[in-house]
């Protein structure tokens, strides 16, 4: 996993949390933040956030304010229909 992937996942989790308030999305945000910290080779969570002067909770709150929840609802499509549409077969 690359750094950008983890950041994208964090944005996704915070957006979904903002829209639905599911605890799983908040946990996902923190888990990705933890993996990102380990990827950077920092020993503690505080060391990762030190350059921004933020704690984990402050980082979550900042992201919560800055990220808009998803606003698009995609209608259900069966796998077979999806495959036909995106494979160029149909």
The predicted-structure confidence for 1-56, as pLDDT tens digits, reads as follows 688 888 888 888 888 888 888 888 888 888 887 887 777 776 665 665 666 666 66
Half-sphere exposure of 42 (CA within 13 A, CB side): 14
Q: Which pLDDT score is estimated for 51?
A: 61
Tokens 């983890």 sit at which residue? 6
pTM of the shown model: 0.50
Q: Which pLDDT score is estimated for 54?
A: 66
**Cα–Cα–Cα angle for 86, 10, 7, rounded to 5 degrees:** 85
């Amino acid at each position: 996993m690359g750094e950008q992937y983890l950041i994208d996942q964090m944005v996704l989790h915070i957006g979904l949390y903002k829209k639905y308030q599911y605890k799983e999305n908040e946990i996902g945000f923190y888990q990705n933040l933890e993996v990102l910290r380990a990827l950077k080779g920092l020993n503690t969570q505080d060391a990762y956030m030190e350059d921004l002067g933020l704690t984990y909770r402050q980082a979550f709150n900042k992201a919560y304010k800055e990220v808009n929840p998803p606003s698009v609802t995609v209608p259900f499509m069966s796998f077979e229909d999806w495959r036909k549409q995106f494979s160029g077969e149909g």
